[in-house]
Amino acid sequence: MNDLWVKHCGISHTGSFKDLGMSVLVSQVNRLRKMGRPVVGVGCASTGDTSAALSAYCASAGIPSMVFLPANRISMAQLVQPIANGAFVLSIDTDFDGCMQLIREVTAELPIYLANSLNSLRLEGQKTAAIEILQQFDWEVPDWVIVPGGNLGNIYAFYKGFQMCKELGLVDRIPRLVCAQAANANPLYLYFKAGWKDFKAIKASTTFASAIQIGDPVSIDRAVYALQNSNGIVEEATEEELMDAMAQADSTGMFICPHTGVALSALFKLRNSGVIKPTDKTVVVSTAHGLKFTQSKTDYHSKDIKDMACRFSNPPVQVNADFGSVMDVLKKYLLSKAH
């Protein structure tokens, strides 16, 4: 492809695109509290990125934050973020969907402001990524934008941003949107394949793309609206596909998260099937920093994943601490590169 771009949304304060929306939401809560509104704090359910953003901005504003996390289902780096920022961290023995259900019940009872993406303030912030893409292309509209999807607020936020630019007359069309899901957590994909008939929430299975391990997305209706109004597509990626895609991208100098691997897998599939053409201007949205997901990368490069060939692994070479041994392995390496 000769016009392929990766939009990095994870090189930000807490390392994910959630910063875009959470800074807007927490600013508004700050204003409400200063106006004397009875908001005792802000809460969210999270697979790790929303909680990191919420706790950082709340700490900065001096607002109590409460995060509901599925126990043992988020990366260590993500878990330590709200802990370090002083949030009240609940590690709950359920999955994300269970946490989401609980926070909705709790916020219906207590004056805790719900910070998940069903709150439109989040989407107002996140839609700026779409505006930024257009601005960076000098208002030339890409043909495709591929976004990983779990709770599904972000695909709608992108639609909203592009649509707003069209309504303002800044552009005359919007890109076709692709939502990419992990095959282990693919309720939107199944719904799309069924011709948008009879949505069924699922029990999401474990996936390396842990931030999108969601079976009952809160923004399902908004996502469908975004896809239907952008002539959009939903694709999925197996665990092997997403890990291979992540490793391939990293080998070019990036350091992406597994969710971006899902989006890249979708790109490969749509390109191979000819849906995306070689000259199509295409943007893959990278949602979080790879440093949050070092364990999965380490497992991959150590070929330590059951039933996965790890085709693009690059394991470190164990070598004796003497000049001859080091020279031997170096020469072998350099010879392999000469061909």
Ligand X SMILES: N[C@@H](CCOP(=O)(O)O)C(=O)O
- Residues of this chain that interact with ligand X (CB under 6 A) are 18, 44, 46-51, 116-117, 150-151, 153, 211, 218
Calpha distance 311→301 (Å, rounded): 9
Whichever of 116 and 286 has its CB closer to ligand X, that residue is 116
Q: Residue 126 or residue 265: which is nearer to ligand X going by CB?
A: 126
Q: Judge whether 256 and 287 are in contact, CB under 8 Å.
A: no
Per DSSP, helices labelled H in the chain are 18-34, 49-61, 76-84, 96-109, 120-126, 128-136, 153-167, 187-193, 220-228, 239-250, 258-272, 294-301, 323-338
Phi, psi of 75 (to 5 degrees): -75, 160
Q: How far is the CB of 157 from ligand X (least distance, A)?
A: 9
CB of 277 to ligand X, least distance (A): 31
Shortest spacing between CB 212 and ligand X, in angstroms: 6
The nearest distance, CB 117 to ligand X, in angstroms, is 3
Residues forming beta bridges with residue 70, ordered by sequence position: 92
In 3D space, the residue among 88, 100, 112, 105 whose CA is nearest the CA of residue 29 turns out to be: 112
In terms of CB distance, is 51 or 313 closer to ligand X? 51
Q: Measured from the CB of residue 185, what is the shortest distance to ligand X in angstroms?
A: 11
* Closer Cβ to ligand X, 142 or 148, answer by number: 148
User: Encoding tokens for residue 94?
Assistant: 């359920």
Q: Could you give the 3-state DSSP secondary structure of residue 144?
A: strand
Q: 51 or 181, CB closer to ligand X?
A: 51
